[in-house]
Amino acid sequence: MLRVGAHESIASGVHKAVNRQLEDGGNCGQIFTTSPRVWKDPDIAEEDVEKFRELSDENDVGPWVIHSSYLVNLCTPKEDLREKSIASMQKEVDAAARLGIPYVNVHLGAHTGAGVDQGLDNAASALDELDIPDGVTVLIESDAGSGTKLGGDFQHLADVLDRCDQDLDVCLDTAHVFAAGYDLSTPAAVDETMQEFDDVVGIEHLRCVHLNDSKHECGTNKDEHALIGEGLIGEDGMRAFINHEMIRDVPLVLETPTEDGKGFAWNIERVKELRE
């Protein structure tokens, strides 16, 4: 069964994300538990938790993913930022357990001069400080790889999984993968990129895909999402990826823009049309 949905708002209550997902035609999805641009803990009332769980179960919407704050930087050499990042992640995994959400997604962040190897060590050791509840898994997201950000290279993902004592998995973002230099624009390119991911990281670790087209060329390290099939990955690449045997059972979550009157509902329908 195709699992495709979008990153939905929790405005007026986290349970409202389920209603929005259904309106958009999705059956899985992603949320922020609070504003991702400030250090703020999730504040979700128990009644809202129960409504979210009930609506998701009744309508077979899931799995859900919590996306961590944009401020989290697991790779940082700065102790104060590291401590804030760990504390924020702990709140997110605890919120996931309350909501019955199986995944918390996080970017590795930037090493800001500490070096790639030290940055990866920092990330692994920060994740090891988390007390992750049963039933919740942290997903490391692939990155576009600009500046000193880590996660653009598949080897970065594999190294963190190897160095961390936690049981971690991975979320691939198609726009990020493309921007980082892994081509997805043709069926042959999709085959090659997915085989490399399997060889380096292991396809068994792929638990979620952020499905986005890209407004920039492959290898530019520029992270700007486009509508499905209307960016530089394009329709042929998106069709090949959506139907690739390695990801057919992986939930697809859209973080596409709203442009030309085309929002999440249009993009979800486009994915369904491209699925063979």
Tell me, yes or no, if 255 is annotated catalytic: yes
Name the catalytic one among 23, 37, 117, 248.
37
Name the catalytic one among 15, 20, 53, 107.
107
Q: Kindly state the DSSP code that residue 192 receives in the 8-state scheme.
A: H
Tell me, yes or no, if 15 is annotated catalytic: no
Tell me, yes or no, if 216 is annotated catalytic: no
Tell me, yes or no, if 225 is annotated catalytic: yes
Tell me, yes or no, if 37 is annotated catalytic: yes
Name the catalytic one among 48, 92, 94, 223.
223
Mapping DSSP to helix (H, G, I), strand (E, B) and coil, where does residue 217 land? coil
Name the catalytic one among 53, 98, 156, 225.
225
Structural contact between residues 104 and 139, judged by C-beta atoms closer than 8 angstroms: yes
Tell me, yes or no, if 196 is annotated catalytic: no
Tell me, yes or no, if 205 is annotated catalytic: no
Name the catalytic one among 43, 54, 70, 128.
70
Contacts of 170 (CB under 8 A, 6+ apart): 139, 140, 141, 142, 157, 161, 201, 205, 206, 207
Name the catalytic one among 92, 143, 173, 213.
173
Name the catalytic one among 205, 210, 216, 239.
210
**Distance between CA atoms of 214 and 191, rounded to whole angstroms?**
18
Tell me, yes or no, if 244 is annotated catalytic: no
Which candidate, 84, 163, 146, places its Cα nearest to that of 112? 146
Name the catalytic one among 24, 121, 141, 143.
141
Tell me, yes or no, if 156 is annotated catalytic: no
Name the catalytic one among 176, 205, 216, 270.
176
Name the catalytic one among 7, 53, 67, 207.
67
Strands (DSSP E) contained in 162-244 are: 169-173, 206-211, 213-214, 225-226
**Residues marked as catalytic:** 37, 67, 70, 107, 141, 173, 176, 210, 223, 225, 255
